Amino acid sequence: MTKSVLILPGDGIGPEITAEAVKILNKLVETDGLDISMEEDLVGGAAYDVHGVPLADATMEKAHQADAVLLGAVGGYKWESLDISVRPEKGLLRLRKEMGLFANLRPAVLYPQLASASTLKPEIVAGLDILIVRELTGGIYFGQPRGIRVLDNGERQGYNTYVYSESEVKRIAHVAFQAAMKRNKKLTSVDKANVLEVTEMWREVVEEVAKEYPEVEVKHMYVDNAAMQLVLNPKQFDVMVTGNMFGDILSDEASMLTGSIGMLASASLDENNKGMYEPSHGSAPDIAGQNKANPLATILSAAMMLRYSLGREDLAVKIEEAISKVLDQGLRTGDIWSEGCTQVTCSE
């Protein structure tokens, strides 16, 4: 059955980079029997300029109807002074929230051709290929009660609540185990079970879910140690699963091991593997409209879309191999360019 993809280019370099991903999807429709229909719509500042809101209700409805959403990026100087309620980023948050995208998958893959761009020594990162699975709609980011209150002595006190229910942990654990099954069957669950009860329970639930995946080798690690191990010996990891805040921090840390932000894809999935796919970087207004941006993070996000939402793992692999070939040929946009390589534009 034909699957539908909603394309939301957004702002800044968004339209340039999504156009390149769309070219590749169209090519796969032509040559590989990819059965999709694509429709484009507005999000972010681009939507605000037309509708006065960063995401029109009609666009939200299209996102609900679609099998997957491919997004560029939102935001830019032009909209920075707007009221917070209509800022471009609100469009993105609404999509994540209303689509129920609780699983954020962020691969940190080092292409061997870019080893010198990593912050770590080549021998430590060579062959690095980690998938971080971050819970995106729970944990301390959303727990109640929260706020800042004034105590009797007049002092202010800030407080947040770190909560996870068993079902929330279970569903993210399943996503992680399923990803591990498709990869090297190794999973590290990251918690702070020695100090925080919520993560003590997290660990127990992950252990329970593990029984359904006997082939997967499971390890538990405290978050402080995981942060250290990521820069000491990152290749010990394959899939990592963790809560919202630990995942936020660890995935940014891991991304820096791979060189440029222009190479990093992401997927945010709901219970039925419906998802939104976007590069990890922002709208890069400083280089927008110059045909200079690196489109690979978006193209890799389209590959993730084929893998997770469109049932075409074969085509995801095909895209990833094609990117490797392009890098082998020494073709680089400015952000990943180095001596001896050929600088190319976004569209090239």
CB of 280 to ligand ATP, least distance (A): 8
112 appears as a binding residue in the annotation = no
Q: By rule CB under 6 A, what count of residues binds ligand ATP?
A: 14
Catalytic residue, candidates 164, 192, 213, 277: 192
Residue 132, classed as helix, strand or coil, is: strand
Torsion angles phi and psi, residue 241, rounded to 5? -125, 135
Pairing of strands 68-73, 36-40: unpaired
41 appears as a binding residue in the annotation = no
Among 282, 302, 316, 323, binds ligand ATP (CB under 6 A): 282
Residues near 89 by Cβ (< 8 Å), separated by ≥ 6? 44, 54, 74, 75
170 appears as a binding residue in the annotation = no
325 is catalytic: no
224 is catalytic: yes
248 is catalytic: yes
Strand ranges (DSSP E) for the chain? 3-10, 36-40, 68-73, 103-109, 129-135, 147-150, 156-159, 186-191, 217-222, 239-242, 265-269, 275-279, 331-332, 342-343
Contact positions with ligand ATP (CB under 6 A) in 66-125: 75
How many CB atoms are located within 10 Å of the residue 50 CB? 10
Q: By rule CB under 5 A, what count of residues binds Mg ion?
A: 2
Matching residue, tokens 């893998």: 307
Residue 15 touches which of Mg ion, ligand ATP, none (CB < 5 to 8 A by kind)? none
97 appears as a binding residue in the annotation = no
Verify binding: residue 265, ligand ATP, rule CB under 6 A: no
Catalytic residue, candidates 32, 35, 224, 314: 224
Q: Which residues of 302-322 are buried (b: 16+ CB within 10 A; e: fewer)?
A: bbbbbbbbbebeebbebbbee
Residue 262 touches which of Mg ion, ligand ATP, none (CB < 5 to 8 A by kind)? ligand ATP
129 is catalytic: no
Residue numbers belonging to the annotated binding site for NAD(+): 76-89, 282-294
| Residues with active-site annotation | 141, 192, 224, 248, 252
Would you list which residues are annotated within the binding site? 76-89, 96, 106, 134, 224, 248, 252, 282-294
Instruction: State the residues that interact with ligand ATP by CB under 6 A.
Output: 13, 75, 261-262, 281-284, 286-287, 293-294, 297, 335
